[in-house]
Amino acid sequence: MAIAQIRQYLLLCLVLLFAITGCGQKKSTRTTNGKIEIEVAVFQGGYGLDFFEKAAREYEKLHPNIRIRVWGNPRIWEQLRTRFVAGDVPDLCWPGWGMDTWALVYDGKVMEMDKYLNQKAYDQDIKWKDTFLPDLLEKGKYKGHYYILPFNNNVFGWWYNVGLFKKHGWKPPKTYEELLKLCEQIKKTGIAPITYQGKYPAYMIRGFLIPWAISAGGLQAFEDAQKLKPGAWKSAAFLKAARMIAELRDKGYFQKGAMGMDHTGAQMEFLLGRAAMIPCGTWLRSEMQKQIPPGFRMAYFNPPVLANGKGDPSITQSSAETWIVPKDAKHPEIGADFFRFMTSLKMAKKFVQEKQTLMSIKGSDQTQLPPDLILPARYLRNAKATWDAEFSDWYKAMNKEIEAAVAALLSGEISPEECCERMERAAEETRNDPSIPKH
Amino acid sequence: MKSQTHRRNVWTTLISIVLLAYAVLVAYPMVWLLLASLKSSRELFENPWGIPSHPHLVNFLNAWTKAGIGRYFINSVFVTTVSMFFILVIGSMAAYALARYAFRGRGVIQTAFTSGMMFPVFLGIVPLFLLLRRLGMWDNYLGLITVYVAYSLSFTVFVLTGFFRQLPGELAEAGLIDGCSEYTVFLRIMFPLAKPGLIAAGIFNFFGIWNEYPLALVIIASENLRTLPLGIANLLMVQHYETDWGALFAGLVIVMVPTLIVYLVFQRQITEGLTAGALKA
Amino acid sequence: MPPIKRDRVTAIVIFLAPGLVLYCIFFILPMAQAFYVALFRWRGVSMDKVFVGFENFRKLFTGDPIFWQCLCHNLEFLGVSFVVVIPLALFFANALSSRIRGAGIYRGIFLFPNVISVVAVAALWSFVYHPTFGILNSLLKALGLGHLATGWLGEPRYALLCVIATSIWYSLGFYIVLLLAGIRSIPTSYYEASALDGATPWQSFRYVTIPLVWEILKIAVIYLIIHTLNIFGLVWVMTEGGPSYHTETLLTYLYRQAFVQSNFGYATALGVVVFVIILGVSLVAGRLMRREVVEY
C-alpha cells in the first residue's frame, strides 16, 4: 500500500517537473527573420530612456536590415556584471555610475575603439574622433588606446533660487567672503542658506572640497592629489578647503538634517524654497522635471572662490557620462556605428535641447539652449581650464574613504585636520598597492 | 478567590493594552503609506501628516501602467506555490529522517543543512550563475524553482527537525508493531502531527520566496518572466529617479494589496491548522 | 529482524536523498567554489584571477579597521535585537495563545510586516525617518519635542539604532508566530493540571510553557543570531552603510567590496570569516541552551 502511494507521489512530481520545464521554454526575444538584432543596455537615470529609444527607431529607418533593442533600468549594472563574467554582453552600453568600468578595461572586457574613431563622422566631413571635445575623449584612454567614450557632458556647480534672491535683493556670491555675509543674511529670514545631498558625499566633494582646494592652491593642488603625490591630500590647499567647510558648518549655514537626505530629497528642499542654494550638475532640471513648482526659476553659478585665491576663478568642473562597446559583443561594429549615429552633430544638438544638458561634441551648444543651460555653457566656454573628479572612477576604495571623511567632517564628527589625515592615509594606501593600476 | 480573579482581570487588561499599542505601532506606517499614496509629491513635502486634500489617484495609474504588476503577480504565484510544494515535501522528508532515526553521519548532515542559513546569499551567486548556464537552467523557471528549493532547505529542515523531534515516539513504535511500513508511519501518522510546524515553515517559505530578490535578479533576465519583487524594485528605482514619490507609494500599495489578500485568505488556514494541531495533541 | 533493518535504511535513504542531492549541487557546490575564490585576487568582471594564498585573510585581520567596526555594529544589532525581541515575542505569543479577545486579528497584524518585501519596508521606513516629511519628526513636533527632530539616518549617533528599530518592527511577528506554534503544541491537559494544582499564570508559564517550548525557543534564538549577523538588504537600502560607515555591517561591507570596489576575492574571504563567526556564535548559543528534550 505504501509503495503505491510513493508511486503516486513520484508521478505527481514528474508531472509537475514537465509542467515546469514546459514553462522553461524561454520565449525567444531575438527573432531574426533576416535582420540583425543588436542589444543596447542603458542606465536609466535622470535622462530616461526615451531619447535612446527614439534614436534607435531613426537608425532602423536608415538601416532597414538592423533591429535595435534598447532596454535599461536605474540599477542596470547589477545585471550587467554577471553577464560580463559569462561573456554574454550587449553590443553597446552605458553601464552607469554603479559599474566599475575601469575594472572592465583592465580585464580586457572593453573593445578598443581606435579603428572606429578613425572613421568619418556621421554627418560631418571630419574623423569621428575629431568631433569630440578633446579633453573628454582623452579621459577614456588607457595605455594609448581609446576605450571609454563620452556622451553627454555635465557641468557641476552651485544653483540658487532666482525668485527668492530677487525678493530679498540678494546676489549670487562670487567670493567666499561674500558667501559668508550672504549666508548670515539668509539665515536671518529662517531659510537654510545651503543644503546638500548628504547621503551621497560625492556632491559635497565636487561642490565644496575640490573647488575650494583649487581656489586655495591652484589646479596643481588638485592634480597632485589625483596623481596620488605624497602629502597632496593634506596640503595647505586641502586643509584650507576643509576649514572652509567646517566654518560654514559651525556657523549653521548648512540645512539641518541635510546629512540624512538623498539627492532628490535635498533637491526638493531647494525647489520648495526651504534652502537657498545647492550644489548640483546640469542634470538638475531634467531630474526634478516633475516636481518643479510653476514659476520657479533657478540659475547656475560657479562655486564662490577665495577673493585672493591662487586658482583661477573661471576653472569649471565638467564630466562626461560614459559608454562602452563590450569586447565580447556579437556585433560590436553595429554597436559602435549606432553610437556614432547618436553622437552626430544633429543628434547631439537634439539631446542638448531635449535633455537640457551639454554634449561632448564640439559645436553641439550652438543651438537654442534651454534657459537653465545658458549660464553653465557660458562658464564652460570661458573656463581657462576644466577638472573632473576622475579619481572616483580610478580608485574606488580611496574614493569611498574620502567620501566617508568628508561626510564625517560635515556631520561634525571630525576636525578639518583629521579629515585631511584620513584622506591622505587613503591615498597612501592606494599608492602603495601594486595591484591597482595607476593613471 | 475574588482577589485572584481581580488580579487576573487586571493582568488581562494590561496585556490587552500592550497588544493594542503594538498593533497601532505596526499598522500606522502602513496607514500612512496609504494616505501618502493618494497625495501628489509636492503635497507630500508640504503636508506630510494630514489627510490628502483630494485623492491623487493618477498615482496608481502611473504605478500600474509603468510596472506591469498583473503579469508579475501571476508569475510570482506560480513560482511560489510550486516551490513551496517541493520544499515542504522534500524538506519534511529530510527533517523526519534526521529527527527520528539515528545513523552514522546524521550530525554532519544536520550541521550541513543548518549552516547553510549562515551563508550570505550572494556569495555563491557567480558560480551558481555559471552552473545554471551550463545546465541550461538560466532565465527559466526550472532553474529558479530548483534554486529556491535548494536554498530553502536549510531553514525548512532546521525548523521541521525541531518539530519532528518533539513528537511522541510511542505512536511510531505502535504503528510499526501493527505492521505499517516506515513510509506509512511517516505519511499517515507523523506528517499530520507536525502540522503546526509545517504551517509555520510553510508560511515563512511562502513569503520568503514571494519576496525573494537577489537570486531572481541573477537568474531571470526576460522581462515577461519577472517575479513581483523584481517588478517592485524596478518600480521603486524608476519612480525614485523620476521623483514621483506619490507613484512610488502607490506602487508599494499596489504590491502590498495582493500580498494582503493572499495573507488574509491564508490566515483562516493558519488558525484552523494551529488549533487542529493543538487539539490533536 | 534483518528485513526490518534493511527496510529502515532504505527508508532513510529515500527520505534524505532528494533534499540532500539538490542541496549539494545547487547550494553547497557554488558556495564551495565561492570559498575557493577567497584565495585569489579577482575583480569579478572577467575570469582573470591571481592566486594570493591567505593574503586576503591577513589583510582582513591586520589591515582593515572597517572590518572590526562592522563586527561591532553587527554585535550591537544582535544584542539589542536579542534583548528586545525574545522577551517580547514570548510575551505576545503567550498572550495570543490564551483565549484573549481578537487574538486572531492581533496575530494577523503583527505578522504582516514580515510578509512585505524587505525593499518595501526599507523604503517605507526611510520615509518615516525622513528629515522633512517623515512621520517621526512630525510626531515629535506635534508632541512639542520639535527640537529633537533631526535627520535620523544621517546622524552618526542614531543611524544604527534607527535601522535596528526598523529591523525589529519587521521581524518581531515572525518570532511571535514561531513561538506561538510551539506553545500551541503543548497539550491543554498540562495547563489544566497545573491550574488544579493552584498555579498562578506566571508559574504555569515558567514551569509548563517554557520547558516545553525550549526546542522552538532554541530555534528562534539561533535564527535571530543568524539573521542579525547576516543583515544586509534592510541596511543597504536605508543607509548603504553610511553615514561614513556608521551603519556598515559585515555583509554590506562584503557587498561593497565585491560589487562596488571589484575586490571579489577579498570579499569572499570576508564571507568565509563571517560564516565562521556565525557558526561559532550559533554553536555556543546552542550549547548554552542545551537541555533534555522533554517528550510527552
* Chain B CB within 8 Å of residue C260 CB: no
Let me know the angle formed at the C-alpha of A213 by A301 and A308, rounded to the nearest 5 degrees.
75
| Min Cα separation C133/chain A (Å) | 10
| Min Cα separation C227/chain B (Å) | 8
**pLDDT, average across residues B107-130:** 80
Which of C116, C189, C205, C218 is the best mutation test for B, with the most CBs of B within 10 A? Answer: C116
Q: Do C260 and A98 touch (CB under 8 A)?
A: yes
For residue A9, what pLDDT is reported?
A: 56
Enumerate the β-bridge partners of residue A72: A42
For residue C168, what pLDDT is reported?
A: 93
| Min Cα separation A389/chain B (Å) | 23
Q: What is the mean pLDDT of chain A?
A: 87
Q: Say if residue B219's pLDDT is above 90.
A: no
Place of cell 572593453: A110
Of B130, B145, B237, the CB nearest to A73: B237
Q: Do C45 and A84 touch (CB under 8 A)?
A: yes
Q: Do C108 and B264 touch (CB under 8 A)?
A: yes
**pLDDT, average across residues C127-136:** 79
Measured between beta carbons, the chain C residues lying within 8 angstroms of B98 are 16
pLDDT bucket at B3, cuts 50 / 70 / 90: low
Return the number of other C-beta atoms located less than 10 Å from residue B115's C-beta. Answer: 19
**pLDDT, average across residues C13-27:** 89
Top-confidence residue, A289 or A429: A429
| DSSP H or E run through B154 | helix B141-165
Measured between beta carbons, the chain C residues lying within 8 angstroms of B278 are 184-188
Distances (CA, A) of A87 to A27, A91, A107, A327: 21, 12, 12, 9
**pLDDT, average across residues A218-227:** 92
For residue C97, what pLDDT is reported?
A: 79
Closest CA to A402 of A200, A176, A159: A200
C261 Cβ contact list (under 8 Å, min separation 6): A100, A396, A397, A400
Residues C140-187: tens digit of each pLDDT: 877 877 667 677 888 888 889 999 999 999 989 888 888 887 887 777
Q: Say if residue A298's pLDDT is above 60.
A: yes
Measured between beta carbons, the chain A residues lying within 8 angstroms of C133 are none
Which of A13, A105, A199 is the best mutation test for C, with the most CBs of C within 10 A? Answer: A199
Measured between beta carbons, the chain B residues lying within 8 angstroms of C254 are 120, 123
* DSSP secondary structure code for residue A234 in this structure: G
| DSSP H or E run through B137 | none
Which of A107, A147, A324 is the best mutation test for C, with the most CBs of C within 10 A? Answer: A107
- Number of helices (H), then strands (E), in chain A: 19, 12
Q: CB of C118 within 8 A of CB of C234? A: yes
pLDDT bucket at A32, cuts 50 / 70 / 90: low
Closest CA to A98 of B242, C261, B238: C261
Closest CA to A213 of A176, A187, A239: A239
CA nearest A405 in C: which residue? C244
Helical H runs in A356-415?
A: 371-382, 391-394, 396-410
**pLDDT, average across residues A155-167:** 94
For residue C292, what pLDDT is reported?
A: 54
Strand-pair category, A36-43 with A92-94: parallel
Residues of A (276-335) whose Cβ lies below 8 Å from B: 287-291, 293
pLDDT bucket at B275, cuts 50 / 70 / 90: very low
Q: Do C108 and B166 touch (CB under 8 A)?
A: no
Closest CA to A153 of A39, A316, A332, A394: A316
Q: Say if residue A28's pLDDT is above 90.
A: no
Top-confidence residue, C142 or A402: A402
| Min Cα separation A344/chain C (Å) | 31
Q: Number of A:B CB contacts under 8 A?
A: 93
Q: Say if residue C16's pLDDT is above 50.
A: yes
Q: Do A274 and C132 touch (CB under 8 A)?
A: yes
For residue C259, what pLDDT is reported?
A: 76
Q: Number of B:C CB contacts under 8 A?
A: 249
**For the purposes of burial, counting CB atoms within 10 Å of the CB of B85, is it exposed (0-12), middle (13-18) or buried (19 or more)?**
middle
Q: Do B119 and C275 touch (CB under 8 A)?
A: yes
pLDDT bucket at A26, cuts 50 / 70 / 90: very low
CA nearest C248 in A: which residue? A404
Q: Say if residue A22's pLDDT is above 60.
A: no
A167-181, A302-316, B224-238: which is most confident: A167-181
Of A20, A25, A85, the CB nearest to B82: A20
The alpha carbon of C187 is separated from its chain's Cα centroid by a whole number of angstroms, namely 30
pLDDT bucket at B1, cuts 50 / 70 / 90: low
Q: Say if residue C285's pLDDT is above 80.
A: yes
Which of C46, C119, C202 is the best mutation test for B, with the most CBs of B within 10 A? Answer: C119
Q: Looking at this predicted complex, what is its ipTM?
A: 0.76
Measured between beta carbons, the chain B residues lying within 8 angstroms of C230 are 118, 120
* Chain A CB within 8 Å of residue C49 CB: no
Chains in contact with A, counting 3 or more C-beta pairs less than 8 Å apart as contact: B, C
For residue A136, what pLDDT is reported?
A: 87
Measured between beta carbons, the chain A residues lying within 8 angstroms of B237 are 44, 73-75
Q: Do A103 and C45 touch (CB under 8 A)?
A: yes
Phi/psi-derived region of residue C49, left when phi > 0, alpha when psi is between -120 and 50, beta in every other case: beta
Place of cell 586655495: A216
What does the block give as the cell for B100?
527520528
Q: Say if residue B233's pLDDT is above 80.
A: no
Top-confidence residue, B274 or A215: A215
Chains in contact with B, counting 3 or more C-beta pairs less than 8 Å apart as contact: A, C
Of B117, B127, B186, the CB nearest to C34: B127
**pLDDT, average across residues B102-130:** 81
Domains parsed from chain A with CATH numbers: 36-147+319-381 (3.40.190.10), 155-315+388-431 (3.40.190.10)
Q: Say if residue A331's pLDDT is above 90.
A: yes
Q: CB of B239 within 8 A of CB of B248? A: yes
Question: Distance (Å, rounded) from C-alpha A198 to C-alpha A260?
Answer: 6
CA nearest A392 in C: which residue? C261
Measured between beta carbons, the chain B residues lying within 8 angstroms of A29 are 222
What CATH superfamily classification does C56-288 receive? MetI-like (1.10.3720.10)
Q: Do C154 and A435 touch (CB under 8 A)?
A: no
Q: Do B200 and C109 touch (CB under 8 A)?
A: no
Residues B195-212: tens digit of each pLDDT: 777 887 887 788 788 888
**pLDDT, average across residues C55-65:** 87
pLDDT bucket at C268, cuts 50 / 70 / 90: confident
For residue C291, what pLDDT is reported?
A: 66
Of B30, B91, B232, the CB nearest to C119: B232
Measured between beta carbons, the chain A residues lying within 8 angstroms of B89 are 9
Q: Do C117 and B124 touch (CB under 8 A)?
A: no
| Min Cα separation C151/chain A (Å) | 4
For residue B226, what pLDDT is reported?
A: 85
The residue extents of the domains of chain C are 56-288
CA nearest A268 in C: which residue? C132
Residues of C (64-103) whose Cβ lies below 8 Å from B: 91-92, 95-96, 100-102
Measured between beta carbons, the chain B residues lying within 8 angstroms of C295 are 166, 168-169
* Chain B CB within 8 Å of residue A29 CB: yes
CA nearest B20 in C: which residue? C106
Measured between beta carbons, the chain A residues lying within 8 angstroms of C22 are none
